[in-house]
Amino acid sequence: MTESTFKIKAGIVGGAGYTGGEMLRILINHPDVEIVFVHSKSNAGNHVYDVHTDLFGDTDLKFAAELAFNIDVLFLCVGHGDARKFLEANEIPDHIKVIDLSQDFRLSQNSKFNNKNFIYGLPELNREAIKAADNIANPGCFATCLQLGLLPMAANELLTNEVHITATTGSTGAGQSLSPTSHFTWRNDNLSVYKVFNHQHLNEIGQSLKQLQGSFNKAINFVPYRGGFTRGIIASMYTESELSEADALKLYHDYYAGHPFTHVTSKDIDLKQIVNTNKCFLQVKKYDNKIFIISIMDNLLKGASGQAVQNMNLMFGLDERAGLRLKATGF
């Protein structure tokens, strides 16, 4: 499929939020996509650049109050619980592929809705299933970052001890709606812990690890932090293991060979390397009897809209990297 022979027609629901804005930024520049509509009742009739002001000069698209079904794929960039409500209120024709960025269909017990079966959309875990899927449940941001740090161990049945994780996310991970912990005056120059040991993404992570290592039954001790920065996730995790550092690096390199966005190194890594990209960087080290992994990625791209476009590319037989060769901030 090339630009001259085929254009995927896309619709976006929830285009005024953070993930909707990132979806617009990617798809406007995607060589194989035409955006048919961006749905937002509260902004209907306004240009998308009235909300996403950086898109001024890039597009003349306007928000629409009505849905259009002359599309090939529908992105649901809505809040948790709202995707299910949307599908209950709107019957989407079977020929339209649906990619949902909420948590509504990620767990296997919630993956079926009427005649739709949602595949968990982590390409590094389910690439072949994604290629054949009609509906995708896009993973959560923390879930993506942490799973990418642990999948190679589970795939080789090497998660035999508890896993300990500390991870910090930027303020955009909380979404656009204001709350006491998302105001600038509270978040700036601040750091706080939340949802210790019971973050909702642990369910996704456990499900995926057991998919690869059915015997896995150890605790995942996860301490999430709210960071005083805008975007990105940095996670450090460790577990006891007899693997040497060289063997661990080989295991990780082998697992991610052929996956274009996940890269493994023994060198130090930092958020500015991956912010504004669809990449995940993994640093793998050995300290005494512990394998230590650092995983970094952009929560709005690899953790949300970028991964959703990656899934779309796979579903439509495109180059997995199409529209996602993005520039990091660097400094």
pLDDT reported for residue 4: 47
Contact 151, 130 (CB under 8 A): no
Helical spans, DSSP H, in 90-242: 123-131, 141-155, 184-187, 202-212
pLDDT reported for residue 176: 57
pLDDT reported for residue 175: 58
pLDDT reported for residue 173: 64
Instruction: State CA 182 to chain mean position distance.
Output: 21
Q: Which residues contact 281 (CB under 8 A, 6 or more apart)?
A: 263, 265, 269, 273, 274, 295, 296, 297
pLDDT reported for residue 198: 83
* Positions in the chain short of pLDDT 70: 1-5, 173-180, 182, 186
Each residue's pLDDT tens digit, 12-55: 999 999 999 999 999 999 999 999 999 998 899 999 999 999 99
pLDDT reported for residue 189: 84
Give catalytic residue positions: 141
pTM for the complete prediction?
Answer: 0.94
Rounded to an integer, what distance in angstroms lies between the CA atom of residue 145 and that of residue 62? 33
DSSP summary character for residue 276: T
Q: Which of 41, 43, 8, 38 is nearest to 20 (CA)?
A: 38
